[in-house]
Chains A and B, each alone.
Chain A
């Protein structure tokens, strides 16, 4: 018997094509008679459209068509839908203003789609787009959510005269207020969770193709969930029969949430391909990505923690204003609510929590889920409060956490979730040891001799992955199911093709899922291929986001495998003339218990397809099974991060000198891939903490940070090499015991970094520093603290 593939560092099957330039991303797909689209975008944050003149553009070389909002409205294309209905504190549905695919009458953010030009070449389309003359009446704009709710602020949508999409709350406010009234100490912080621009390195792209031959459409699109894209596009926007539309998300160059959504461009190229009878391709340039991809975060929060005299948390109160941009993106509404407030218990036994969220429209790009989606924001609230509380109460930050850790599982939090398992002490202990916390005082002293400030900060995060079950999500407003589908096709010679509704855009599913299947079937990973990202091949899929793939998609595959093995046992029993109950299965071998009779998996597969000696009276030939899996609960990955920074007080420059992450992802299939996910997540989290800030000009609503020269995603020399490890409490409610690992780093890192920075600056009287803690920000904080001290 070969060694188990579960837990093996198997090199990735997908790497060869990526390393040799053979990957096929959406922009690499060029179809016969290909044409190209370029969008005319609003240069204003808020304006009424007086007129659009397209004559010049139409006559430009190579131009095939020009369409405006009136054309798409005339064609009865619906607006882009929002997939989650939030019900407000008064029991009323959230405000859902129309989200037209091409602006109609009004533009509401810089980058809003106004018209599209289709031409023979991309250059011709872009040239002609410059010739579309749009006359605007510019209106006052508002980009800051806190300003947008004030009386007299510019109004974006008539149905939301106060720019408020909803005011939503979770928890017993009166009980929480009572807890605060008897607190020995209250820690209060007010901060901004900075707005981020996802910036997957592959820009968004879409290539729509209508075939007159069978009246069908194919859309190639850089997307994380092709079936969801198809469902939303056909049922809600275009009114097309779902079976006439194929959506292919081929190799996708990173997503991080930004490619979950149905975007206007996807709809427009699909529709336009029918109008002109040719495939229409659009690929964003980076400048377009900056203004038009869904952004992330952007919370303004006032958070309070109430403690008894021993530092035991007795209540938590959080008020958040969430900027959701100009329109509701596909899952915008659930991010600052369902995926945020429910995580505010963190790893702690805080018995009473109240959270109120006001979601606000502003003249900015739509805001939606970005790696972590609500959970980084929640972790930031909890872990900044906890660390600050420890310092204020003169308790060791690790000790205050230990005093409040949840230790009994399952644990029902006061914010709706029930954690199935965890061991928070184990990850904290391991992280402290790896980070050599014991030696920190000495290192701090040594740094001080060099004139540098050292700080050490923790983050003990929890996340909820694989949103589930569908019935509960539905009761909370989800307009979709949240299951996953998988299919196992065993070929006559015993090799296997697996079809999964999960989608890989860097996560390495082609390897991880192959390991799961090959291990169960006792074969080499090379004999298992994973197919994903094509609605014409895969029976259904909800896609990949929220770290759900292995926990939900992986389990669907395992359930299909169980069916394969069940059928295999029946075939084996027949071939070995045994009763089915006596057939045992162990990784590729069917045995008759207590005898030396056995059949290999390949022999069973062959018999299923060459059924000469076969139980035809009881079984159909063939070996092909599918399964849908709807989880009974979320999974709850958790971990402890320790960040150590060194600050140069003369420049404000912060250097991360040590970053340790110990995570509990439950069972791990491929540690190499998991570590890679953690490294990437940490780097995005560090980006949020130190370098990344989306900034709109408050007067004009122009995006100031619209390129990689202005918006700093971390470079290799901005981040350290990481120390990562794992501890394991298997998930109790899925057969693999897995929890998911994709977002953890981005969730835990910002708080760890900012806790380290504020630790270094605490003795100067600096309690908080805003993210991103750029050199300038830290320098300013030091300067104003020194002035106060003087």
Chain B
């Protein structure tokens, strides 16, 4: 059975017909063609699919599209300013070489922004603990941790 879902994605009202079993990530990638949100596993471990829903980071592979009915969703495509200027967290990832192949990066950034909002003065250990649900195979996390520390600072300063 197909059902209709409607939500706001990156500030725009969107709707579509999905199967009941359709995951939010599938709706985002296949129907909205927002392919910046990635799928890296099938057990909710890797976090590459992380998006923001109603202001909180969620794994879009672990929920149905239907569960996002009426929600305000932001994907990585909606993070930078309209003129293309990077968000302070994105800029920090670039400055600190916090990405290599880029595949885990959107999920990392989405989680990092949510984390930084909630923990503006986190320690290195706090950041490492917060990345429990985001896997990276390239960077060894060293520069991701540095980037999130710096990005958090920049976000706090920008307020």
- Residues of chain A touching chain B, judged by Cβ–Cβ distance below 8 Å, are 11-12, 14-25, 27-28, 30, 123, 199-203, 251-254, 256, 283, 285-287, 505-508, 672-673, 675-676, 679-684, 707-709, 713-717, 719, 721-722, 745
Contact = CB atoms under 8 A, between A and B. Distances in A.
Contacts of A201: 38, 40, 46, 48, 101, 103-104, 135-138
B14 interface: no
5 contacts: A17-B102, A683-B140, A683-B142, A715-B141, A716-B129
A202 B94 contact: no
B119 to A, nearest CB: 15
A719 B101 contact: no
A286 B132 contact: no
Contacts of A123: 19, 21
B102 A199 contact: no
A256 B138 CA distance: 9
A19 B85 CA distance: 11
Interface in B61-89: 75-77, 79-80, 84, 86
Contacts of B45: 707-709
A388 to B, nearest CB: 28
In this complex, the interface size class of chain B, counting residues with CB under 8 Å from chain A, is 35 or more
Interface string B119-159: 00000110111011011111111111100000000000000
Contacts of B137: 199-201, 254, 256, 680, 684, 713
B38 A715 contact: no
A20 B80 contact: yes
A25 B131 contact: no
A557 to B, nearest CB: 21
Interface of B: 19, 21, 29-30, 33-43, 45-46, 48, 75-77, 79-80, 84, 86, 90, 93-95, 97, 99-106, 109, 124-125, 127-129, 131-132, 134-145
B143 A20 contact: no
A721 B142 CA distance: 5
Given A30-B33, A715-B135, A745-B140, 5 more contacts: A11-B97, A202-B101, A679-B143, A708-B43, A719-B140
Contacts, number: 185
Max count, chain A CB within 10 A of own CB: residue among B36, B125, B134, B140: B140
Given A15-B99, A21-B106, A286 B40 contact: yes
Given A201-B137, A254-B137, A708-B46, A716 B145 contact: yes
Which of A21, A506, A680, A722 has its CB near the most chain B CB atoms (within 10 A)? A21
Contacts of A252: 101
Contacts of A25: 35, 38, 103
> Which of B125, B135, B138 has most A Cβ within 10 Å?
B138
Contacts of A681: 140
Contact of B101 (A20, A27, A254): A254
Contact of A19 (B33, B41, B99): B99
Nearest to A18: B102
A508 B145 CA distance: 19
Contacts of A20: 36, 76-77, 79-80, 84, 86, 90
Contacts of A675: 97, 143
A698 B90 CA distance: 47
A252 B137 CA distance: 13
B127 A28 contact: no
Given A252-B101, A708-B41, A15 B127 contact: no
A200 B48 CA distance: 12
Contacts of B135: 201, 708, 713, 715
A21 B35 contact: yes
B128 A716 contact: yes
Contacts of A508: 100
A546 to B, nearest CB: 17
A286 B43 contact: yes
Contacts of A203: 39-40
Contacts of B134: 716
A13 to B, nearest CB: 10
A121 to B, nearest CB: 8
User: Among the interface residues A24, A673, A683, which one has the most CB atoms of the partner chain B within 10 A?
Assistant: A683
A460 B55 CA distance: 49
Contacts of B99: 15, 18-19
A449 B101 CA distance: 44
Nearest to B91: A19
B94 A19 contact: yes
Nearest to A288: B42
A326 B16 CA distance: 45
User: Chain B interface secondary structure, helix, strand, loop or mixed?
Assistant: loop
Contact of A18 (B34, B105, B129, B140): B105
B97 A672 contact: yes
A707 B41 contact: yes
B29 to A, nearest CB: 8
Given A15-B93, A679-B142, A21 B131 contact: no
Nearest to B109: A19
A717 B128 contact: yes
Given A201-B48, A201-B136, A680-B137, A19 B93 contact: yes
Nearest to A198: B137
Contacts of B124: 721
A722 B140 contact: yes
Choose among A14, A287, A676, A745 the residue with the greatest number of B CB atoms under 10 Å from its CB.
A676
A621 B53 CA distance: 58
B37 A676 contact: no
B33 to A, nearest CB: 8
A15 B76 CA distance: 13
Contacts of A27: 35, 39
A200 B140 contact: no
- Residue in A14, A682, A708 with the greatest tally of chain B CB atoms within 10 Å: A708
Contacts of B129: 716-717
Nearest to A685: B140
A22 B102 CA distance: 10
Contacts of A707: 41-43, 45
Nearest to B133: A715
A715 B97 contact: no
A256 B103 CA distance: 14
Nearest to B143: A676
A16 B140 contact: no
A11 B91 CA distance: 11
Contacts of B144: 716
Between B37, B95, B102, B135, the greatest number of chain A beta carbons within 10 A of the residue's beta carbon is seen for B102
A253 B102 contact: yes
Given A715-B132, A717-B132, A676 B101 contact: no
Nearest to A23: B102
A22 B43 contact: no
A676 B146 CA distance: 12
Contact of B94 (A12, A23, A30): A12
A692 B115 CA distance: 28
A15 B138 CA distance: 14
A18 B109 CA distance: 11
Nearest to B105: A18
A717 B139 CA distance: 14
Contacts of B93: 15, 19
A722 B38 contact: no
Contacts of B40: 201-203, 253, 286
A717 B131 contact: yes
A352 B90 CA distance: 54
Contact of B103 (A12, A202, A716, A722): A202
A508 B94 CA distance: 12
Nearest to A706: B43
Contacts of A16: 86, 94
